[in-house]
Amino acid sequence: MAKSKVGGVSIVIIDNSAGSPINMTSYVDTIESVGKEYMPLDVTTFADSAERVIAGIEAGMPISVSGPFDDTATTGPDAVFGTLPGVTQTFEYAPIGTASGKRRFLCEVLWLSYKVSGAVKDRVSYTLLGTKDGTMSSTVY
């Protein structure tokens, strides 16, 4: 039987530029590319009849965080995320909450850009884009 989880209990914690963890859950509605990916290493030799590969190092995959723009002083995404490009900080994502036994992803991210966009008759949104720096910890609470 298939199971579906609702993202309404997700938790997103991102360090601000000073290194303090800030719960940004209420300002985030989309997160993309959280997980692990390894780069393949070719180990094919003349004795092999087909290509052979092994797992290499963990790839520094992109991470994207987006949601509704809010310029609330010190706590909104504009204040927190607007200072992150060019800074490496801790990122934590718990897709189904923080109850005991629930999965969480934790890593360092080099934040590369923070962009605000909007359109007529649409909400103003932001996108924070970074790349994973080092390994992604996938543990449980």
- pLDDT tens for 32-69 read 989 889 999 999 999 999 999 999 999 989 999 999 99
**What's this model's pTM, rounded to 2 decimal places?**
0.85
Report d(CA 108, CA 111) in Å as an integer. Answer: 9
Q: How confident is the model at residue 74 (pLDDT cuts 50, 70, 90)?
A: confident
pLDDT of residue 1: 46
Q: Among 23-32, 66-75, 77-86, 115-124, which is the least confidently predicted range?
A: 66-75
What is the rounded (10 degree) CA torsion for 6, 132, 110, 125? -30
At 94, phi and psi to the nearest 5? -115, 100
Decide which of 2.10.10, 2.40.10, 2.30.110, 1.10.3470 is the CATH code for 7-140.
Answer: 2.30.110
At 25, phi and psi to the nearest 5? -50, -45
Long-range CB pairs of 14-18 (<8 Å, 24+ gap) are: 14/65, 14/80, 14/81, 14/84, 14/89, 14/90, 14/91, 14/92, 15/89, 15/90, 15/91, 16/80, 16/83, 16/84, 16/89, 17/83, 17/84, 17/87, 17/89
Long-range CB pairs of 38-46 (<8 Å, 24+ gap) are: none
- What residue spans define the domains of the chain? 7-140
How does the average pLDDT of the chain come out, rounded? Answer: 91
Closest CA to 63 of 1, 139, 134: 134
